[in-house]
Structure 1
Amino acid sequence: MSHRLLALATLLAVSLGFLSPGAHAQGFVHADHQRIVDGDGKPVILRGMGLGGWMVQEGYMLDLRNLGAQHVIRSRISEIIGVRKTEQFYRSWRDNAVTKADIDAMAGWGFNSVRLPMHWKLFIKDMPPKGGPGKIVWNEEGFRRVDALITWLKANRMVLILDLHAAPGGQGNDLAISDRDPRKPSLWDSSDNQAKMIALWTEIARRYKDEPTIAGYDLLNEPNWGFQNKADTHGCLETGNKPLRDLYERTIRAIRAVDTNHMLIIEGNCWGSNYAGLLPVADRNMTLSYHKYWTDTTQETIEPFLKLRAQYDMPLWNGETGENSNDWYARAIELAEKNDIGWSMWPLKKIGINSPLEIPTNRKYRSLASYLRGEGKKPRAGEAFAGLIRLAADSRFAKNIRHADVIDALFRAPHSLRKP
């Protein structure tokens, strides 16, 4: 092969994402056939926690299950206290809900990783297209918060998985998880939204390509969309998934053009369970993520994913699991780890029990929440704002209620179940 043809082949391999298991920079977490390994090539079980509710709120986390998506919650709050004070609340929430103290505590409990659910609007300014289609202006707030999180994790020798949780336009018909507004074009209905998603991952790759504290990029959280049949609302019966595969392939090519270091993670349709038509992926530094909620903890429940791991010679990661009882947590983690599968619980904190941390509520917030649920009278603006600002302050680690029983279920109990 001539030097010119060799160079062309090399460029093509990178642009298509064809990476051998060894084609990574030393020191980065990466996929090695069916195992995730650390920067030294030693197998690692990722024991993680998702920071759900920090950048993307779901209604149930705020005791507002009826409102669902964050943009709905925000709009209803704005009707009472105004746009400016609503923004003040959300900024205070983001300042307090995750801090170094949370990460220090997680390291002490035994976690070695964190999954960050990102909202695209914290990274791209949602502006009228004055500059024409395709004009993107970066919102530095999101990147600043990622930078701070990296610093806290690095100090604790933990790693970070970046997760695009709310993609431009929203990636599914489960509206709350991606903050999707059904009155606007979805991710799948808009080439502009898809271009924004690819541009965001390209920019993340550009900024963080040399950062080993980042273990991987989780390209799209829980897509759930019927491509072939709109009646298949969440894509659980999808047999092709061609639009999802095409978007993954374009995103992977864009990332690999600038970053060959980081592990990439893909999730199937139907909330990460339907991989029909998505595999194989032409990238060896790739991991398959499945999510597990409210199913039995028997070997049979994960057998389809184990078969995919073996068939396509790639690691498995249980990227989201939780919202259950302590007994279920222990059995679910025991199941994952005996099959050499890492996991990430969901979420670290919320209003309510069964997470490691609970955000306490105050009387004024409870009055507001009661009204927003349609159960009480409308509070005065000043009272509502005071309740929200207090809630934001109480989302801080020092004010949280700590559930030691949950931590015990995550770390001691699963290994007690595995008799020597």
Structure 2
Amino acid sequence: MKRVILLSAFLLSQFGTSQLLKTNGQKIVNDKGENIQLRGLGLGGWMLQEGYMLKTADFAGPQYKIKEKIAELVSEDGMNEFYKAYLKNGITKQDIDFLKKAGFNSIRLPMHYNLYTLPIEKESKKGQNTWLEEGFKMTDDLLKWCADNKMYLILDLHAAPGGQGNDVNISDNDKTKKSLWESEENQKKTIALWKKLAERYKDEPWIGGYDLINEPNINFTGKNPNGTDEMSNAPLWKLQKDITEAIRTVDKKHIIIIEGNGWGNNYNGLTPLWDNNMVFSFHKYWNYNNDETLKFALDLREKNNIPIWLGETGENSNVWFTELIQLLDKHNIGYAFWPMKKIDNIAGITNVKITPEYQKLLDYWKNGGEKPSKEFAKKALMQIADNYKFSNTEIKNDIIDAMFRQTTDGFYKTFQKSSGSGKNLRDRL
């Protein structure tokens, strides 16, 4: 009985029953004032694909180029049919139920703006915002699945209108068109999209926050093309301030999450903070897990007396995952690992299995040769879309174990005895 009570107390402290998040000094708390450490996963590869996720990086990195390659084989209509199935299968209630059982308490949703509104080039009238139901419906469904599981949903604008940086794969940036920073229209559309999202979700307690612009990487005045040497970042701070002001006209409740330049970590030139419910996000890949690698973020938290959140990390070894989470726990820093699904995923919690037929498409795209027939290509693509269903993915139990049991071994031994969590998680759904 004592073990069950301890388990219940732990779960309540993590997931709670009174959930609207806000900041309190350097902590994120719920509306009871209880500290909430976000333990999350980013749904990378769902609304926005990067080439490496589909094994097309050698010849098609950003999503628009992937779509061109697919349309070349199966026509525009065939490409749209594939993406309809891909988006339908990519994340379902089963996926979110599984993530809750695995131990996560939050989801980061990387959004592509073109699921919510038209690109400026396709608007019939300059300055107009045509709203598309598809993205909002996908977000509504995801929020319901999160709420059913008492999990927070953090909205992340991963691909902003025009693209927010020179790392084109991240934001589906087409360099032949004006970027976010080169176009006032794109900036206005970005602001309008966030206001629309805030209007829709202002009263939703399971919305954990608004992550305004993912990984800006741009040289405004510096020499590094990805903005790592920028000293002022003035356009970045201005746009995030303008977005915040628009959100606050309709939603005064939810946390605003901002990111620095240089893939999220360059906070040089930060202006006086413009909101009292704000969190700094930083990203961490491929470095050591020690206090030194967190120093800039910890200093930022201390200097400004606001929380920090590791909004994106992962794609490393199991030992690295365990050591990182133990380090973050030590400093009361929440996190979101990346990504959930990709093809041949050896360092994520689920793997999408490749097929021989899809490999033939990859070989053709990369090396040329005899063009696959439309019928063959369509069948191969639809099979890959089917493989994205949760029931068809491979669950990487060793990675889940590294993220949870091995980080708090004493608790999870108790948890296993009381719930049988040593079994394959899919079997417990």
TM-score, with length taken from structure 2? 0.89
Q: Is the 8 A contact 2:160 2:171 kept in 1?
A: yes
Letter in 2 for 1:96: N
Given that 1:280 and 1:312 are in contact with CA atoms closer than 8 Å, whether structure 2 keeps it comes out as no
Aligned counterpart, 2:14: none
Match of 1:341 in 2: 333
Amino acid at match of 1:217: Y
Using the TM superposition, give the Cα deviation of residue 126 of structure 1 relative to its aligned residue in structure 2, in angstroms.
3.2
Equivalent AA in structure 2 for residue 207 of structure 1: R
Instruction: State whether residues 351 and 393 of structure 2, in contact with CA within 8 Å, keep that contact through their aligned partners in structure 1.
Output: yes
CA contact (8 A) 2:100 2:149 kept: yes
Contact 2:119–2:161 (CA<8 Å) still a contact in 1? Answer: no
Matching residue of 1:368: 361
Match of 2:388, as an amino acid? S
Q: Does 1:96 align with 2:86?
A: no
- The one of 320, 333, 339 aligned to 1:328: 320
Cα deviation for residue 132 of structure 1 reads: 2.5
The code of the aligned residue for 1:136 comes to N
Aligned position for 1:170: 163
In structure 2, the CA distance between the partners of 1:348 and 1:87, relative to structure 1 (3 Å rule), is same
Q: C-alpha distance in 2, partners of 1:37/1:31?
A: 6
Mark the CA change 1:123 to 1:130 in structure 2 (over 3 Å): closer, same or farther.
Answer: closer
| Change beyond 3 A, Cα 1:129–1:408 | closer
Offset, 1:162: 0.2
Aligned runs of 1:17-416 on 2, under 5 Å?
27-66=19-58, 67-126=60-119, 128=121, 131-229=124-222, 231-352=223-344, 353-374=346-367, 377-416=370-409
**Which ranges in structure 2 are unaligned for 5 or more consecutive residues?**
1-17, 412-429
Instruction: Quote the residue 2:11 is aligned against.
Output: none
2:259–2:282 Cα contact (<8 Å) kept = yes
Judged with a 3 Å threshold, the aligned counterparts in structure 2 of structure 1 residues 58 and 131 are, in CA distance, closer, same or farther, namely closer
**After superposition, what is the alpha-carbon deviation per residue over 1:372-409, rounded to whole angstroms, capped at 9, x for unaligned?**
22276432111111011010011000000111001011
Q: Deviations over 1:172-191 (max 9, x none)?
A: 01100100001110100000
Deviation at 1:127, TM superposition (A): 6.5
Alpha-carbon RMSD across the aligned residues, in angstroms, is 1.5
State the Cα deviation string for residues 313-358 of structure 1 (Å, max 9, x = none).
0001000000111111111111111100001000011112111110
TM-score, normalised via structure 1 length: 0.91
Separation (CA, whole Å) in 2 of partners of 1:381 and 1:251: 44
In 2: Cα distance, 1:227 partner to 1:93 partner: 36
C-alpha distance in 2, partners of 1:238/1:391?
Answer: 41
Give the gaps of 5 or more residues in structure 1: 1-25
On the 8 A contact 1:76/1:372 being kept in 2, the answer is: yes
Mapped partners of 2:103, 2:32: distance in 1 = 21
Tell me if structure 2 keeps the 8 A contact 1:89–1:388. Answer: yes
For the residues of structure 2 that align with 1:226 and 1:280, how far apart are their CA atoms? Answer: 22
CA shift, 1:131, in A, is: 4.3
> Contact 1:367–1:376 at 8 Å: present in 2 too?
no
Alpha-carbon deviations, 1:68-97, whole Å to 9, x = none? 111011011111110000000001000001
Q: 1:121 to 1:325 in 2, by over 3 A?
A: same
Secondary structure of residue in 1 paired with 2:408: helix
SS in 2 for 1:82: helix
CA shift digits 1:158-203 (9 cap, x unpaired): 1100000000000001100100001110100000000010000000
Paired residue secondary structure (1:414): coil
In structure 1, give the amino acid aligned to 2:376. Answer: E
Is the 1:334–1:417 Cα contact (8 Å) retained in structure 2?
A: no
Distance 1:130 1:94, change over 3 A: closer
CA contact (8 A) 1:129 1:135 kept: no
Could you tell me whether the CA contact under 8 Å between 1:348 and 1:356 is conserved in 2?
A: yes
Q: Give, in whole Å, the separation in 2 of the partners of 1:239 and 1:327.
A: 35
CA 129–95 in structure 1, closer or farther in 2 if over 3 Å, else same: closer
Counterpart position of 2:15: none
Name the amino acid aligned to 2:141: A
The 1:366/1:90 distance shift into structure 2, 3 A limit, reads same
Number of paired residues?
A: 392
Task: Write the distance in 1 (CA, Å) between the matches of 2:118 and 2:161.
Answer: 11
Residue 168 of structure 1 contacts residue 186 of structure 1 at CA under 8 Å; is this kept in 2?
yes
Kindly state the Cα deviation for residue 371 of structure 1 after the two structures are TM-superposed: 1.6
Contact 1:172/1:224, CA 8 A, preserved across alignment: yes
Q: Distance in 2 between matches of 1:217 and 1:61?
A: 25
Following superposition, the deviation at residue 260 of structure 1 comes to 0.3
Paired residue secondary structure (2:215): coil
Regions of 4+ moved over 3 Å: 126-131
Contact kept? 2:123, 2:130, Cα under 8 Å: no
Secondary structure of the equivalent of 1:221?
coil
1:105-145, CA deviations, whole angstroms, 9 ceiling, x for partnerless residues? 00001000000000000000236566421111101100000
